[in-house]
Structure formats: structure tokens, C-alpha cells
Amino acid sequence: MIAAAASPSLAVHPWDATSYRGCELCIHSQRSPDGLACVCPSAVAPLPWQSVVITRDRQGTCGPDARHLHFPSFDA
């Protein structure tokens, strides 16, 4: 008999508005001295980069829905 145990990997975690995990995995992200930065030309022009906190803000160019999010596997 298999015992039913709660698995920590299957635990439901509450949504965290300050988490930018998608940005960490995006090809447009880079680490900066101030934290995570976006270098997507469509999102930060005319600047060379911008903090993801600003870019992913409700009024940011990428917004909470991550319009410019891109992973290498999207090209496959």
C-alpha cells in the first residue's frame, strides 16, 4: 500500500507580485548592480536597460502580463 503524503514540490504557493521568475528565465534579462534588468529593445528603448520592477509594473512597457517575455524554447 502506498501512503499518501503531502509532497513539498506539489504544494500550492500563493502568487507573489514581487517575484520575477519569468524575467529571470527570459532571454532579455541581465543581472545589474541594482538587481534584475530588462534589455529587450522593444520594452526599454531608448534606454539600454531598465529594472524589471519598472518594466513589469502595471504601467510598464512589458506589464504584469509579460508581453515581451521570451524563452529559447519558444523558437523550437
* 8-46 pLDDT, tens digit each: 566 666 656 567 888 988 999 999 888 899 999 999 999
User: Is residue 6 over pLDDT 60?
Assistant: no
pLDDT computed for residue 10 by the predictor: 64
Report which residue type is found at 20. Answer: Y
pLDDT computed for residue 65 by the predictor: 87
Whether 27 contacts 72, CB under 8 Å: yes
pTM for the model: 0.70
Domain spans of the chain, in order of start: 29-70
C-alpha 55: how far from chain center: 10
Mean pLDDT of 55-63: 91
Query: Which position has the higher pLDDT, 12 or 69?
Result: 69
